[in-house]
Amino acid sequence: MNPQTKSTSLSADLNNFIYGVSRRNFQNAPELTKIGISLLKNFPAARDAVLEYFAMVFHDAVNVSINQVDYETDSSVNGSLESVSMIGPELCNLGEAWAPFIAPWCINLIMNIATDKANIPNATLQSIDPVRVLLDITTQNLTLLNSEERAKCIDMMLGCRACSWAVGWVGRAEPALVAPRALALGPDAARAVLAHLANHPPALFHVRAALVELFQEAIKVDSQADKKREVIPYLLNLASKSDIVLKALTQDIENTLTDEVMERLCAICAAHRHSGAWEGVGPASLVTLLLRSDIHCLFLLLKHAQKNLFCRQLLEYLLQKLEYECLFPDRNVPLLTSAAEEIEIVREKLLTGNQLEQYSVARILILVCYNLPSEFVSTISYLLQHSRNDTTLALLVRIISGTITMHTPNDSTEISTDTERYQNFIKTGVEYALRESMMSDTQIKRCFIEGSVPEDEKTYLHYFCLNIITLLRWESSNRVSHLRTRPIGRAVESNLQRFGAALYEYASLLRIRTPYTMASLPEMPTCHALAEVLDRIDMSGTKAPPPSVEAIIKVVQATVRYFFRCLHIQDILEKMRGVQSACRVLRKLCVHSKLARGAALRELLEAATLREQRALGSRAHAHPRHADPLLLHLNLKHGPITQLTQSHTSVFHAGIIGKGVRKASSQDDGNAIPPILTTNNELLMGALMSCMDGNSGIVEGATSISLLLVELVSPDVMYNGLPWPDEDFTKVSIERELYMRGALERSAECRAALRRAARARPALCLASALLRAAAATLLHRLRAHLDRHTQSAEIAREMAALSELLTTMTLGQLLPHPLSHMLELAPELTASELVQVLRDCLWNYTRDHVPSPALFTCDSTGLHWRDPSTCKPPATYTDTLRLIIQKRISKLGHLYPIMFLNLEKEN
């Protein structure tokens, strides 16, 4: 296009633009807008006129958008809205040369619109399309200006109070310029600007930087100190009105308010607190700010409250205000919300802080736990696991009692309901602590890898149990009023099965011991602590609901396993303490539950006879590394039997299966009858007796022992009744009798239990099968020995077995006078005389007088016994003894008057 044609076209566009604008009809606004854009690009002299028309278009578009009921919202019908959509991209793309003109024009236009529409809510004004387009144009052109021009534009906007929202929007592009300039305004104006700037999260950094710079400048020591220090009350006033300022001030407050800064700040406050600018800065306003801050501000206040009286008073005022605010459940306190969000830091401060910090944090935790029951549970669990002294446990008691009774009058009818509800929370907290402490014991710890484990290191479960024990001790002392309802004891009783399972696991020899964890530490201290916990709680069901069947069985099994672990302890005092603790737990369980008694007796006897023979002396102690090679292994080394006949490689070693080659000595100590009077056997008998209570309980328990012994020793269910058959019948069942006697002789604990059952006299009758087996084998073996073998090891073994049988039957009153004196007579008799006495006196008498509980009477004290005057044996069963004594009167004459003199007088 030649210059003349271009000039003609430009003149026509200018005339059309002037004519169209003069008509003030916005229906043709899109055509005029196109002409105006063309004039801006081709005829810069028309810039002011075109921009003025564009301002008119924006004003009309704003009116159309606000009054959507009176106008059509379709941009094709409303020319102003269509024109705005064309103006925006064009003005954004004019380039850097136009930015100094477009940016001020946009800002002035925004200021005019904000002033004209001051009665319109800011949110409504910001949401309409024309204003958003205008803000985008402003933001785009501001980025094209230099720093000085941008600062002037920002100052223009800050000068208009009505467009603070626009400053916040535009300031997103330049928050570093907007933030310090906004702080130079009054509190209300600055709050309005910063509130809109807060919608842009990255702006918080620049706001904080400006605030810190302003604060640091205010506390400097210079000639203008008095004027600058009015900044501090200004900042506090601004923070009370602006959330973004408060957030910026309190972010990383520990790094801002160092000890040095706090000293200068305290000096400034003391010097200027009576000035006019500081009138609004008082404890009430500071507490209001702290209520809206986060928990780190409270920690900073706690730090300085230790040595600053004003901080200490402010702290108390704050805590009282918090407690008051919690009276209204609908109020949201940001400080408590922050404490709940960073609850781990708060709890750690409870453990590591000084006394003032601990008690203050405990009050905060009470408020948090009152509002959030889940945090109440987790706080109980945390303190039970990590508390290492009585002070923190006392704080736990205070938190529990304070949370339960908070805002509840003593005469309220709802206090019992709340107590039961919180009791369930305490139960859950104890459960979580038990589970998490056991899990923590299996986690790898750095100290184990580095080899720096303290000598007194305990497992986490051990620490947990020690804390529970301390709390239970405080409960039982009845000196702590907050523990009189037994919250901890009831919680442990509700988790009885879990505590039993923990003891069962830690007392097991086969439990997994993960290296580099607490599980690799000695487990017996933890077992002792768990047993003490079980020992201190109530299992009778009088103070709380009785334990379930599953819990009883689990605790019984765990206690029995713990008892036998204690038998292996070398330290006598530790062993006795552990055994006594186990016996007390068994007694508490069995005194109120026959189910527990039966389960405990069975577990004790089965473990003693099947798994713990070494501890009770029934199996020789031999370390596997030093044990003799097994006979089977020796024989497997010889190879095929097809080798040379009678060679040393084809001949099996003579020996005892399971013990290797037979010893050269004729006396095999391994075949000796193990003694029953050992320490561990006595402890086992004490454990059995702890399962019984009172005469009736002892009789029932001893009856159970007798039945269990028959069940464990007898190879089948036949011939286990009370009657004794004819002596000839034992030829049929002799193998069975030999097996039963061998089992009894190898098991010292069975013989001790049998003798213990004999003391509860009717109970021994139910073990008649065991006595019958011993008597039958003695008859057959003694009959096989001649008098010349009286000094052999075999006859000595038989005499020991005979003495055991007669002692037990005499103790159980199964042999009346004078048959009860066979025990004194037996050592002086020959083998043939012993056979005659056993057959005529013992076997025939018990055959004709069946050992039965019906023979015993119960007196007023509950004691069962046989009346000697009514159970005199006929002469048929005593003549053999009489003849033997008369035949050997010179040696046995002293027994005759004891056995027969009174009997003859009565006859």
- Answer with the residue of higher pLDDT: 42 or 471: 471
CA 190 from chain center: how many Å? Answer: 50
Q: What is the pLDDT of residue 335?
A: 92
C-alpha distances (whole Å) from 203 to each of 161, 190, 322, 335 are 21, 14, 31, 23
In percent, the amount of the chain with pLDDT more than 70 equals: 81
For residue 631, give every residue at least 6 positions away whose Cβ sits within 8 Å of its Cβ, in sequence order, or none.
653, 655, 656, 657, 658, 659, 660, 661
Can you give the pTM of this predicted structure? 0.78
The torsion region of residue 328 among left (phi > 0), alpha (psi -120 to 50) and beta comes to beta
Q: What is the pLDDT of residue 213?
A: 73
Please state, in angstroms and rounded to a whole number, the distance separating the CA atoms of residues 851 and 765: 5
Q: What is the pLDDT of residue 520?
A: 85
Say whether pLDDT at 730 is over 70: yes
- Answer with the residue of higher pLDDT: 863 or 577: 577
Q: Give the pair of three-digit tokens for residue 694.
A: 């009172």
Instruction: Output b/e per residue, 786-816; b: 16+ Cβ within 10 A.
Output: eeeeeeeeebeebbebbebbbebbbbbbbbb
Average pLDDT, the chain: 81
- On the CB side of 664, CA atoms within 13 Å amount to 0
Q: How confident is the model at residue 145 (pLDDT cuts 50, 70, 90)?
A: confident
Please state, in angstroms and rounded to a whole number, the distance separating the CA atoms of residues 147 and 141: 12
Give the Cα-Cα-Cα angle 525, 526, 529 (nearest 5 degrees): 90
DSSP, collapsed to helix, strand or coil, labels residue 701 as helix
Q: What is the pLDDT of residue 717?
A: 84
- Answer with the residue of higher pLDDT: 730 or 301: 301
Q: What is the pLDDT of residue 502?
A: 95
For residue 198, give every residue at least 6 positions away whose Cβ sits within 8 Å of its Cβ, in sequence order, or none.
168, 204, 207, 242, 243, 244
In percent, the amount of the chain with pLDDT more than 90 equals: 31
Which residues are bridge partners to 661 per DSSP? 655
**What would the pLDDT profile of 212-249 be if each residue is shown by its tens digit?**
777 777 777 664 555 556 777 777 777 777 777 787 77
CB 171 within 8 A of CB 202: no
Selection from 284-298, 358-372, 658-672, 684-698 with the highest mean pLDDT? 358-372
Q: Residue written as tokens 């019906």?
A: 854
The amino acid at 799: M
For residue 721, give every residue at least 6 positions away whose Cβ sits within 8 Å of its Cβ, in sequence order, or none.
768, 769
Least confident of 340-349, 513-522, 781-790, 854-863: 781-790
DSSP 8-state assignment for residue 628: P
Selection from 78-82, 104-108, 344-348, 713-717 with the highest mean pLDDT? 344-348
Q: What is the pLDDT of residue 616?
A: 81
- Answer with the residue of higher pLDDT: 181 or 584: 584
**What would the pLDDT profile of 535-582 be if each residue is shown by its tens digit?**
999 888 787 788 999 999 999 999 999 999 999 999 999 999 999 999
Least confident of 35-39, 165-169, 388-392: 165-169
Least confident of 247-256, 286-295, 320-329, 493-502: 247-256
Say whether pLDDT at 131 is over 90: no
CB 539 within 8 A of CB 549: no
Q: What is the pLDDT of residue 649?
A: 47
C-alpha distances (whole Å) from 232 to each of 229, 262, 278, 281 are 6, 13, 8, 9
Please state, in angstroms and rounded to a whole number, the distance separating the CA atoms of residues 644 and 252: 93
Least confident of 136-145, 414-423, 657-666, 895-904: 657-666
Q: What is the pLDDT of residue 637?
A: 58
Least confident of 189-193, 574-578, 890-894: 189-193
Q: What is the pLDDT of residue 207?
A: 74
Q: Give the pair of three-digit tokens for residue 864.
A: 């069962």
Q: Give the pair of three-digit tokens for residue 808.
A: 């037990």
Q: What is the CA radius of gyration of the chain?
A: 49
Please state, in angstroms and rounded to a whole number, the distance separating the CA atoms of residues 144 and 405: 65
Long-range contacts of 352-355 (CB under 8 A, 24+ apart): 353/302, 354/306
Say whether pLDDT at 110 is over 90: no
Q: How confident is the model at residue 339 (pLDDT cuts 50, 70, 90)?
A: very high
Say whether pLDDT at 788 is over 70: no
Please state, in angstroms and rounded to a whole number, the distance separating the CA atoms of residues 459 and 511: 15
Q: How confident is the model at residue 667 (pLDDT cuts 50, 70, 90)?
A: very low
Q: What is the pLDDT of residue 643?
A: 47
* 384-407 average pLDDT score: 91
Q: Where would I find the beta strands (DSSP E) of 4-46?
A: none
Give the DSSP H or E segment for 661. Answer: strand 660-661
Please state, in angstroms and rounded to a whole number, the distance separating the CA atoms of residues 16 and 32: 8
Instruction: Output b/e per residue, 602-621; b: 16+ Cβ within 10 A.
Output: bbbbebbbeebbebbbbeee
* 383-389 average pLDDT score: 94
**What would the pLDDT profile of 55-95 be if each residue is shown by its tens digit?**
888 888 888 888 764 444 454 456 788 888 888 888 888 88
**What would the pLDDT profile of 793-803 be if each residue is shown by its tens digit?**
777 888 888 99
**Other C-beta atoms within 10 Å of 313: how many?**
12
Least confident of 290-294, 368-372, 623-627, 895-899: 623-627
Q: What is the pLDDT of residue 66?
A: 83
Q: What is the pLDDT of residue 151?
A: 77
Nearest to 793 by CA among 668, 620, 619: 668
Please state, in angstroms and rounded to a whole number, the distance separating the CA atoms of residues 818 and 885: 13
Say whether pLDDT at 659 is over 80: no
* DSSP per residue, 836-849: HHIIIIIIHHHHHS
DSSP 8-state assignment for residue 257: S
